[in-house]
Amino acid sequence: HADAAMYRAKANGRNRYHFYNHRLDNEQSERVELENALFQALRHEEFELHYQPQIEIQSGRIIGVEALIRWQRPGHGMVSPANFIPLAEENGLITEIGSWVLERACAQLQQWQQQGLDLRVSVNLSAPQLDDANFCDKVARCLKRYRLDPSQLELELTESIIMKHVDQTIQLLEQLDKMGVHLSVDDFGTGYSSLSYLKRFPLNKLKIDQSFVREICVDPDDATICRTIISMADNLNLTVIAEGVEDADQLAMLAEFGCHQYQGYFFSRPVPAEQIPDLFDNTEQPERWNYQI
Ligand code: C2E
Ligand code: MG
Ligand code: MG
Ligand code: MG
């Protein structure tokens, strides 16, 4: 493939002064192979989206789902996004993959809506997607094509994306906000931005990173971090969702701190789209999934 070959030439050029080493050589050829496969993947429809429900803690009901990409790589099984998204970000393929994700998620949302499900879909963004001058148009066209209310779409950005080109990003986010699209900060707490700084951006939601939730019940520092994020976000009128909730004790503590929403294996792993309606039916008995203080 021409693009892959070009990339390879560039990568070789960059490594010309590295001394020769078989391990490096192997790593590099594995990388090139992965990259070639990635270039084929879009065309051969090897990607799919799984969806993880997001639950409102007070009611125990599903209010949204996060779209998470999966790659069925022939001969390799399911490849985790952690193993190919960074590469796609480096070689620029993420722009095309990201457009596919947006399109797929919107199409799926329309289908759920036609089945009578009321929910919002969250889509993860990578930095290069925001450099695309047509990004806003792409989003607008997608919403129109599937006749969606813009507020049913949420875009997730990490702190580092938001902080990258501040002035440029503010403008773009303001445009999206004006359209009515919801914006959330993913992996919140792992970057270096303060809440007061983020207040300059038109954000709707903070997602507390799962690294703080994991030991919330055993590490008092993590508990303090979660409690502080929740109360500050609440005062700034931002919705707070906790990621990576795996058990009832974690949920109980988050509820006590006033957290609004959660997602995690406790309720459900990310699942193929066709399993989402059944999960909705489960929440007909919300007592099981909420936590009343
Ligand atoms: P993320 O957006 O922070 O997504 C949360 C990750 O945590 C997901 O991993 C999810 O499966 C996992 N997770 C959810 N609940 C639990 C839990 O209770 N316990 C544990 N241990 N993990 C949980 P996944 O699907 O492997 O995605 C990893 C990352 O890849 C995502 O982190 C996101 O940064 C990126 N990613 C996934 N899909 C896309 C995409 O379509 N576009 C872009 N740009 N990035 C994506
Ligand atoms: Mg996310
Ligand atoms: Mg996250
Ligand atoms: Mg993450």
Q: Tens digit of pLDDT per residue, the chain (293 long)?
A: 445 555 444 455 454 444 556 777 788 888 889 999 999 999 999 999 999 999 999 999 999 999 999 999 999 999 999 999 999 999 999 999 999 999 999 999 999 999 999 999 999 999 999 999 899 999 999 999 999 999 999 999 999 898 887 888 999 999 999 999 999 999 999 987 777 788 889 999 999 999 999 999 999 999 999 999 999 999 989 999 999 999 999 999 999 999 999 999 999 999 999 999 999 887 765 555 555 54
* 184 Cα–ligand 1 center, Å: 14
Give the pLDDT of residue 197: 81
Task: Evaluate whether 77 touches 279 at the Cβ level (below 8 Å).
Answer: no
Task: Evaluate whether 268 touches 54 at the Cβ level (below 8 Å).
Answer: no
What letter would DSSP give residue 239? E
* 20 Cα–ligand 4 center, Å: 34
- Residue 212's region, left for phi above 0, alpha for psi from -120 to 50, else beta, is alpha
Give the pLDDT of residue 226: 97
Choose among 229, 183, 179: nearest CA to 205.
Answer: 183
Give the pLDDT of residue 27: 82
> CA-to-CA distance for 207 and 180, rounded, in angstroms?
19
**What residue's CA is closest to ligand 1, atom 15?**
264
Query: Which runs of consecutive H residues, i.e. helices, occur in the chain?
Result: 2-14, 22-43, 85-91, 94-114, 127-131, 135-145, 159-164, 166-179, 195-198, 210-213, 220-235, 248-256, 276-282
Task: Evaluate whether 69 touches 101 at the Cβ level (below 8 Å).
Answer: yes
> CA-to-CA distance for 109 and 121, rounded, in angstroms?
7
Tokens of 222: 């993590």
Composition of the chain by helix, strand, coil, percent to 5: 50, 20, 30
ipTM over 0.95: yes
Give the pLDDT of residue 165: 79
* 211 Cα–ligand 3 center, Å: 9
3-class state of residue 61 by DSSP:
strand
State which of 38, 50, 54, 68 you would mutate to test the pocket of ligand 1, scoring each by most atoms of that ligand within 8 A of its C-beta.
68
Give the pLDDT of residue 196: 78
